[in-house]
């Protein structure tokens, strides 16, 4: 039985592949999307437990995608980790303003990403139980 369902969104296919592998090894079920529009579709259809979202993408970028997700009733409770090559403070600030739950800069360690995911999912699970 999978630990949870995670949607990975990045326009760099190699990054999607490696996250698929790493999270798969951790026991997660992994869904993938290559741009923001696809991501919103899949989030609505599949209700993942967490979304890893790249910022610099064509069509709809990560910020916009995050805003849409956090505004949708059926998607607003899904935790989002933003993933981007941008590492400046101002980007982090925008990230949290659009409602992201965490932020990791590229190049990143897949191991650390898995730790954050575990933490976030643990946190939300306990929150849910309290509710």
Partner 1 sequence: MDVALSRTPRPGEVSPAESLSVLAQVLLALRSTTDLGTACAIAGSSAIQMLEATDYRLLRVDLRSGALRAFDESGVESPYLAEQGGPVERVMRCETPTFDDGSTDAARESRLWLQNPAALVTAPLLAGGTVQGVLLIAFDAPRAFTATDRLLVLTLADALALALDREDLRRTLREERQRAARLEQRVNEGEESSSGMMSVVAHEIRAPLTAIKAYTEALIDNVSNPHSPRERFLGIINDECDRLTRLVSDILDLSRLEAGQRPLRLGRLNLEHLVRETLEAMQPMAAARKVEFDLDLEPSLLPEGDPDLLRRLLMNLVGNAVKFSPIGGRVKLHARARGEEWLGVVKDDGPGIPREDLPRVFERFFRSRQNRDQDVEGTGLGLAIARGIVDLHGGRIWAQAVEPHGTRFCFSMPLRQMASARARGLARQVWNRVDVRELFDHTVEMVTLALDAEIVSLMLVDPDQGDLFIAASRGLEGQSLLGRRTSIRSGVAGSVAAWGQPLLVNNIETDRRFRRLNHPQYRTKSLLCAPLRVQGEVLGVFNVNNKNSDVPFDEDDLSVMSALVERVASAVERAIAHPDSPRLIADAIGAVKSVTRLKRECVLGGHDVVHLARAVGRQLELSESEIDLLGYVASIHDVGMTEVPGRAVNRPLDPREIEELERHPEISVEILRPLEYMAQVREVILGHHERWDGSGYPRALSGEGIPLGSRVIAVVDAFDSMTRGRPYRSPRTRDAAIDELRRESGRQFDARVVEALIQVLERQEVEK
Q: Which residues bind partner 1 (CB under 8 A)?
A: 11-15, 17-19, 21-22, 25, 56, 58, 85-86, 106-111
Report the nearest approach of partner 1 to the CB of residue 91 (Å): 11
CA distances (Å), 102 to each of 1, 3, 48, in order? 26, 20, 16
Regarding beta strands 50-54 and 5-9, do their DSSP bridges make them parallel or antiparallel, or are they unpaired?
parallel
Residues paired with 81 in a beta bridge:
52, 102
Closer to partner 1 at the Cβ: 38 or 124?
A: 38
What phi, psi does 46 have (nearest 5°)? -105, -10
Closer to partner 1 at the Cβ: 65 or 75?
A: 65
Closer to partner 1 at the Cβ: 72 or 110?
A: 110
């Amino acid at each position: 039985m999978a630990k949870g369902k995670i949607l990975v969104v990045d326009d760099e296919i190699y990054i999607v592949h490696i996250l698929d592998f790493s999270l798969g090894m951790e026991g997660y079920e992994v869904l993938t999307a290559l741009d923001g529009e696809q991501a919103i579709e899949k989030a609505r259809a599949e209700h993942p437990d967490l979304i890893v979202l790249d910022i610099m993408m064509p069509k709809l970028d990560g910020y916009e995608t995050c805003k849409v997700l956090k505004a949708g009733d059926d998607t607003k409770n899904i935790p989002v980790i933003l993933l981007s090559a941008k590492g400046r403070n101002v980007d982090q600030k925008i990230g949290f303003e659009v409602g992201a739950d965490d932020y990791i800069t590229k190049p990143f360690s897949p191991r650390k990403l898995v730790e954050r995911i575990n933490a976030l999912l643990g946190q939300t699970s306990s929150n849910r139980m309290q509710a």
